[in-house]
Structure 1
Amino acid sequence: MTDTEKILEFDRIKEKLAELACTEKARLQIQELKPSLSELEVKAFQRETTEARKMIEICGNPPVTALQGVDGWIEFASKGGCLTPRQLEQISMVLAAVRRLKDYLRRGKEHEIGLAYYEENLDGLDDIREELGSKIRNERVDDYASKTLKSLREAIDRAETKMHEKADAILKANKQYMADNFSTLRNGRICVPVKKEYKFKIQGSVIDKSSTGSTLFMEPLQVARLYDEVQELKIDEENEEIRILYTLSSILSDKEEIIRSNSRTVEKLDFIFAKGKLSLEQEGIQPEINTDRHIRIKNGRHPLMDKAVNIPLNFEIGNGINGVIITGPNTGGKTVAIKTVALNCMMAQCGLHVPCEEAEICMNNAILCDIGDGQNLSENLSTFSAHITNVLDILKKAGRDSLVVMDELGSGTDPAEGMGIAIAILEELKKSKALFLATTHYPEVKEYARRTEGIINARMTFDKESLRPLYQLVIGEAGESCAFYIAGKLGMPGYMLSRAAKAAYGSEGETKIEGMAGNEGLKKSSHPKIQKIKKAVTQKEAKKYRIGDSVMVYPEKKIGIICRMADEKGMLQVQMKKEKRWVSHKRIKLHVAAEQLYPEDYDFSIIFDSVEKRKAQHDMKRKYVDAELTYEE
């Protein structure tokens, strides 16, 4: 499968076609289907598809059956091999299918359909089919395949009946020695269940025993003699069956060439009828094929899109116009349009009908495509690099008989440079004299197409009221991206549209947005606030206070002295008259700094600590000093 087939999704068309075929060979032929370069071949293939569709419409679906394995079996038989009853029955069914197909084609002859004359290439081998049908049934050689076989099988049945009768008689005559009252089959032999302790009371051989060992399954002597007789008869039966199978295999090997010819014809018809079925399914028509480099499509559809939603395409190129530049808004159907043209051309050259009302398709020696994001991560190529690599490869191959389709010409890079590259590519395509279709958003490219001979603009229609693309192609007119109009309709303010137009078109920008909708301002919407973790209060205001500072406490406006520094919440402990209070740093104001009231090394515990606490601290300090002296001694 080529890259072009995948890009245009022709591989999916082949999958649909393969589903409509019955034989494996036809499916393989479909997988290898490629556009023919012979005008005579293409017209012949198209005619076959038309006749196949006509046959299906008049006579219904053809009775084609799968032929899997038949050729291999016939080859085996021709080398002296013996076919199995199952294989012979399958061949009989194939010959019956050939007979039905011949009858089907004969009905087509009555309507003078050329394809129906393939009937003359088929030989139903009626005599052999009847011979196989009479001697092979239900995947076994039938009793009536020969008198000898019938006689042997009857003798076997009689002997086996006697065996059961003998076993039953022995059971009845020796009930007291038996573990049960019925005979059983062990290792292919009819046995009676004898109690272990009575083993020697019954004449015969031990064939098996129970899991406990208490019961022996013995084949009585009289039954054993009959068993030997049955085995001899079965050997004779098998030999007779093999003789019959060899005879039938030999008959078929003599008709090897006819059977192979039948297979080839059935597989060819299967392929042709699959094309007819696809044409009927897609409501296709036979296109006119030309070599005049002219394409015309009337009400054409993309074959993979739903007919109910696909807008028909009208398109024409040739007769002096070698290039069509398609413009229009995003999602407006530009890519679908160029794919539809290329895919219909490829289908036509493969002998398939195209889903159009009318179509004229020219022969192309190559259909070259650059569609979609070509980013190649494995080769470390960006979208633009892959795009240019592919375009250069296309330009090397493009010639007078080529069809080139390119999507988003010059995209993926700086707009000014991309525009220049797009025009350079179009110039080169024009020199190659190939037919080409390209999509673009660049206004300069539209202008280039307008003033260049042999190139024409086309646009995809767009409903400005509903903001919906109409997917219709209008040749001869340049389209607009409608970006400003869509943005205005969707609520972009006028000042933003004006700025955008000026940035895009300079002083002429205002004319581009005249009459467009646009709000005067953007209505801001609110969002939930971010919930931050509350930070510990470590403000400078709280830390500026020192123990001993005289402060004014508000709102009481009372004087106090700081007796403990600010904590993480900004709370300070203040010695008020007869009490100590915790006060926020925001409620106090420095009255007199501690250094102005007390000496530098003043012990504030005299003011703020009780006598008991100071005495306890003194004792602790003394014990600590005594301990140090003792340690030093």
Structure 2
Amino acid sequence: MNHTFQTLEFYRILEELENLSHTEAAKEQIRTLMPSQKESEVKKSIRDTTEARIILDNMGLPPAVAMKDLSVIITTTKQGGCLMAEELEEIGVMLTGVKRLKDFLNRCKYLELSLPYYELELEPLEALSGMIYESIRNGRVEDYASKSLKNVRQEIGRMEERLRTKAEAILRGNKKWFSDSYITIRNGKTCLPVKKDYRSSVPGSVIDQSSTGSTLFIEPAVIAAMNGELELLRIEEENEVRKILYTLTAFVEDNLPVLEKNKRYLEKLDFLFAKGRLSQEMNGAEPVVNSERIIRIVEGRHPFMDPRTVVPLNFELGKRERGIVITGPNTGGKTVSIKTVGLFSLMAQCGLHVPCKEAELCLNRQVLCDIGDGQNITENLSTFSAHITNVMKILKEAGEESLVILDELGSGTDPAEGMGIAIAILDELRHMGCLFLATTHYPEVKTYAKEREGITNARMAFDEETLKPLYRMEIGEAGESCALAIATRLGMPEQMIERARRYAYGAWEESDQNNGDIEWEKVRKAPKAKKGEGINSAQHKDELLTKFTIGDSVYVLPDKKKGIVCRPVNDQGVLQVQLPDKKIWINHKRIKLLVPAAELYPQDYDFSIIFDTVENRKARHKMEKGYQEGLEIRTE
């Protein structure tokens, strides 16, 4: 699935969804989200998304609930540890958020949805929350958390004031002893900056000295005694704080099952509302899920295209046909269209809404695709090799419940062989019974799709006047590549365009010599390239001239009209074929041998019976007897 997710840009959908969630558990669930194949599960998930979207549309965003480090806090409590003030405050903030969310969901009950009743599972534990808020604020145990803590902190405040007053009195009384007129704290001790020369004048302990050594930081003996009393008070304060923290931790431990349940439902609601917000941002719609292998999309839009400019996709597959062959010009929207269908299928099976007016989507055991160039230099794979490698993997994995998407089927190799391979692949998919979409430029593949049961053509509309693709899919009609129209608009001469058209579609007809559109004699007698201007293989030329013989029964592609070769291939690679109603000149690449002449006619058979007029045959018979003045044979 990883290749499919990457190709169809499903990972980008998951990234968008993850950015809309808040809790780490919801983010992890999104990162590992996989399409479900259980119909009941998918329908329930889509229904949850729909209800979340309705709530968001009518009530706005739900209150965000902070759950930072909640998993760590729960683990610490279970292991018998003491929670710090910051951790207890996190629990208090979370419980406040639970209460707000519960109130929000209660207000949503008028919408008559099931999702608001999740509030029954949320318990704000107001008693615990109140204790935490009374005892802790700004990551610190409050003075009023207990009477003893309040008293000891007041004593600490008075002792610190006495200590400061005493130190300042010493500074003011003997200014010449000190290098500065302020008290400093060194290594947790209250010190005075004494000049080195006056060390003996200030009894006490040297705690530190300046970088130059000229100043000593001394804790006077009288202040040291007061510092000792202050340390005892601080130890008493610390013990009282720890007692309060252990008491609150014990209350948290008593309510641990409720806290864990709150956590689970907060994460679940975070995930559901993230899906609702994604639907809101994409202007998505609830897809109908079916088990009849039907896909129907009304005014679908690729999620990552600008909704103001994108042309909506109308698409249907599965009711009559199992496969669609899409043709049309390059940059006409074929690839975007098939990627949209595949992406919608994945999104629906993950319980997400899809950006469209309406959608009916089936469950797929897997969505398999081969889209893009696929060329891999490190693995020595050409474009064609990469495509075939991917397609062979797809054919091994695909089954009746698969959706297969193939872009530029049979491309990257000789057109005739690529066409054959494309048809063979489509035939295999058709026999598998899976749903499939394929894009191509081969006219023979269009003919195949038209003639085979269970497959139909579709085309991407193109404005030949402006040379602009319309990005609109039209199912039931085969499209053209529009290469000739584009070449015309870009300045290719009309004679070259006409010649290209006739080479491409088998159109060297006798009538053309009369109406002057293309004069075969001019083409045949056109100046050849000078020696050295190109490479010419004599062996290839000999093979070409003997490729078809007079009397061969052949197919004229792409229409598969039957005809008989009446003039073999000339040095221009063109031969003449007798069709039921006319003779045409056509490039040998558009001819496929049906039955060789050797199997149809006896040796030395006179083909003039078939191809010559009665007048020519009579004239030729007379000439065999000798020269006849005024007698002529007309050749075409």
- Whether 2:333 is the aligned partner of 1:333: answer yes
CA contact (8 A) 2:66 2:93 kept: no
Cα distance 1:198–1:481, how it changes in 2: closer, same or farther (>3 A)?
A: closer
The correspondence of residues 402-417 of structure 1 with structure 2, limited to 5 A, is: 402-417=402-417
Q: Distance in 1 between matches of 2:344 and 2:212?
A: 79
TM-score scaled by length of structure 2: 0.78
2:257 alignment counterpart: 257
Give the aligned length. 515
SS in 2 for 1:110: helix
Residue segments in structure 2 that go unaligned for 5+ positions in a row: 519-636
Return the offset for 1:197. 3.8
2:372 alignment counterpart: 372
SS in 1 for 2:356: coil
1:272 alignment counterpart: 272
SS in 1 for 2:28: helix
Return the offset for 1:405. 0.9
Q: Which amino acid aligns with 1:298?
A: V
Return the offset for 1:263. 0.9
Q: Distance in 2 between matches of 1:175 and 1:401?
A: 94
Return the offset for 1:66. 4.2
Q: Deviations over 1:10-30 (max 9, x none)?
A: 111111111111111111111
Moved more, 272-281 or 92-101: 92-101
Q: Distance in 1 between matches of 2:248 and 2:33?
A: 38
- Whether 2:450 is the aligned partner of 1:450: answer yes
CA contact (8 A) 1:52 1:275 kept: yes
The correspondence of residues 2-13 of structure 1 with structure 2, limited to 5 A, is: 2-13=2-13
Cα distance 1:453–1:232, how it changes in 2: closer, same or farther (>3 A)?
A: same
1:542 alignment counterpart: none
CA contact (8 A) 1:24 1:66 kept: no
1:503 alignment counterpart: 503
2:144 alignment counterpart: 144
SS in 2 for 1:472: strand
Q: Which amino acid aligns with 1:132?
A: I
CA contact (8 A) 1:498 1:510 kept: no
CA contact (8 A) 1:501 1:510 kept: no
Q: Which amino acid aligns with 2:500?
A: A
CA contact (8 A) 2:68 2:90 kept: no
CA contact (8 A) 2:302 2:336 kept: yes
Return the offset for 1:211. 4.2
Cα distance 1:341–1:181, how it changes in 2: closer, same or farther (>3 A)?
A: closer
2:35 alignment counterpart: 35
2:118 alignment counterpart: 118
The correspondence of residues 12-411 of structure 1 with structure 2, limited to 5 A, is: 12-175=12-175, 177-411=177-411
Moved more, 221-230 or 43-52: 221-230
SS in 1 for 2:427: helix
Q: Deviations over 1:291-338 (max 9, x none)?
A: 011111111111111101110011111123111111111111111111
SS in 1 for 2:111: coil
Moved more, 456-465 or 88-97: 88-97
CA contact (8 A) 1:78 1:254 kept: no
Q: Deviations over 1:480-510 (max 9, x none)?
A: 1111122122211122123222322233689
1:433 alignment counterpart: 433
SS in 1 for 2:507: helix
Q: Distance in 1 between matches of 2:465 and 2:176?
A: 104
1:460 alignment counterpart: 460
Q: Distance in 1 between matches of 2:493 and 2:207?
A: 101
Cα distance 1:416–1:136, how it changes in 2: closer, same or farther (>3 A)?
A: same
Q: Deviations over 1:343-367 (max 9, x none)?
A: 1111111100011111111111111
1:558 alignment counterpart: none
TM-score scaled by length of structure 1: 0.78
Q: Distance in 2 between matches of 1:346 and 1:411?
A: 27
CA contact (8 A) 2:66 2:97 kept: no
CA RMSD of aligned residues (A): 2.1
Cα distance 1:3–1:511, how it changes in 2: closer, same or farther (>3 A)?
A: farther
Q: Deviations over 1:134-158 (max 9, x none)?
A: 1111111111111111111111111
Q: Distance in 2 between matches of 1:215 and 1:397?
A: 83
Q: Distance in 1 between matches of 2:372 and 2:213?
A: 79
Cα distance 1:180–1:377, how it changes in 2: closer, same or farther (>3 A)?
A: closer
CA contact (8 A) 1:284 1:355 kept: yes
Q: Distance in 2 between matches of 1:344 and 1:63?
A: 30
Return the offset for 1:74. 1.5
Q: Distance in 2 between matches of 1:511 and 1:99?
A: 88
Q: Distance in 1 between matches of 2:214 and 2:393?
A: 88
SS in 2 for 1:351: coil
Q: Deviations over 1:167-192 (max 9, x none)?
A: 22333444454444443333322233
SS in 2 for 1:499: helix
Q: Distance in 1 between matches of 2:297 and 2:197?
A: 97
SS in 2 for 1:305: coil
Cα distance 1:416–1:142, how it changes in 2: closer, same or farther (>3 A)?
A: same
Q: Distance in 1 between matches of 2:212 and 2:363?
A: 85
2:527 alignment counterpart: none
2:477 alignment counterpart: 477
CA contact (8 A) 1:77 1:253 kept: yes
